[in-house]
Structure 1
């Protein structure tokens, strides 16, 4: 009587417990309390088995980690022991090395001082070899000397002998004229094998002219600008010589004088320094030279005709001044002496302007030249002071343009004036010489006419 109602009351609670338990909710609903109890027992056994598996896994992992920790501690202990042993060995080695170094220093004696001297000499020679153009022919010696100067070990006999040999070769090559083939950088910036003549360690040249040595590349390069041909030609000619004594250009400063020489401005560049005033001076000078050339040709032709006419005064020609003066006389030979003299003087005076033509202009150019040079000097100094006002006097190159203009225009003015003065004096003398011939011939005609009239009177 009581069992059925109790089962009815406990069944819903058992179903809730079975549904809440993991894995139990998946079973089918129990038909009876015994079956529910059996399912619950089975689920609990399965859970216990799973939990035990997890516990076993956790214990195995714990044991493995404990073993790893034990091994790591053992390894640490071994390494600490090894470190202590190595430290003790290092201290022992340091002590032994100090003792050995002291013993080595004691045994080296003077060799240690020699080692220092060798390093110093090798370093000095490495600098010499680096800057010497002989290294273009023997490029490996600078590397050897540099390596020997930086070496920490005692130099061997072979190294000492080679150092001595390289130093001796430098001295020998410094006094030798050598022709060899090496790479040269041309004006286009390209390397090419070229025959080079080296005058000791001072000057090198090829068929393109003087060369400059590039220490870093151990190569030669053609100078972008060459000096005058009188300096270049003798060295270029050496390429074809094999023996004997020959003229050559040598720079004892190893390129310093040559670099200054090639920087000297040429005539065209100096003219540019004169600016507008300089070009005007040259234009005036050119005009003066043209006029002087024309007058020289004209006076030479007139002088030749006058000299020819002077040899034959009986046949007067209208093509020269003397012939025209003689024609005045032969036109009316019976005129009185006073009238004849006036006519001849008039004829001579008519010839003077043609003979002295352009001479005043040439004289004026001779006088204007220095004045124009002075004008260029003043404008150049004005430009210099303007540059000083703007930039100060810290850099002399800033004032170079104005000073160059001032000096160059002065020189150009004098260069124009001095020849013009001499040319004017010469042409004026030629002209006066012809006028003097006309005066002499006119005076002779007057004397001859007076003698004839006196004979008639007598």
Structure 2
């Protein structure tokens, strides 16, 4: 029971910390992408401005990474966005592996406690006989409490794990959309105008 209670406290701490860190206003500040596109369109960009943008939020860090290489070809900017995005996803998924481990280990640890309790009880029966049936039933009930506790710990941890992963996936889609819009503003390459293909002239006989 003590390890299960410790896992419950750890799971609660992770859920509260991640829920606070992954608030939408903290990851995707409203109107930030529009402001950055306006800055990029007017050319009012300097290193200090970009560094302050990088410190605001994960979205700001992603857009700042694109602005760092804004004068390079579109493919280079896209690669920088993808590399930065992978690092940001890793940061947003911090502690989620531990939360998933708690969700998987909780029922197993509870079942282990139940098995150990049952073994101890049957060894006592082997040494002293069955004795009082009510006491035997009470011992079985106490042993099963570990299994129930493991499930109580695991179910909320699993639900929170899936919820946080889904929230991060939604943020990734929104951040990618904002980055593509900025990339279109930064793209300095003008597409060449298609020229008509000259038609072959008929050969005069």
So what's the TM-score if we normalise by structure 2?
0.78
Q: 1:311 to 1:337 in 2, by over 3 A?
A: closer
Give the structure 1 partner of residue 13 of structure 2.
Answer: 290
Give the structure 1 partner of residue 189 of structure 2.
Answer: 453
Could you say which structure has the higher strand fraction? 1
Give the structure 1 partner of residue 198 of structure 2.
Answer: none
Give the structure 1 partner of residue 95 of structure 2.
Answer: 358
Are 1:281 and 2:26 an aligned pair? Answer: no
Superposed, 1:141-220 pairs within 5 Å as: none
Are 1:307 and 2:24 an aligned pair? Answer: no
Give the structure 2 partner of residue 341 of structure 1.
Answer: 78
Structure 1: state its 5+ residue gaps.
1-277
Give the structure 2 partner of residue 417 of structure 1.
Answer: 154
Higher RCO, Cα 8 Å, sep 6+: 2
Q: Which has the larger radius of gyration?
A: 1
- Farther off after superposition, 396-405 or 413-422: 396-405
Could you say which structure has the higher helix fraction? 2
Cα deviation 1:17-63 (Å, max 9, x = unaligned): xxxxxxxxxxxxxxxxxxxxxxxxxxxxxxxxxxxxxxxxxxxxxxx
CA distance in 1, matches of 2:163, 2:169: 10
Whether the 8 Å contact between 2:69 and 2:76 is mirrored in structure 1 is: no
Give the structure 2 partner of residue 429 of structure 1.
Answer: 166
Cα deviation 1:125-144 (Å, max 9, x = unaligned): xxxxxxxxxxxxxxxxxxxx
Superposed, 1:85-100 pairs within 5 Å as: none
Give the structure 2 partner of residue 440 of structure 1.
Answer: 177
Q: 1:280 to 1:377 in 2, by over 3 A?
A: same
Structure 2: state its 5+ residue gaps.
40-49, 194-205
CA distance in 1, matches of 2:146, 2:69: 59
Give the structure 1 partner of residue 197 of structure 2.
Answer: none
Give the structure 2 partner of residue 124 of structure 1.
Answer: none
Matched pairs, number: 177
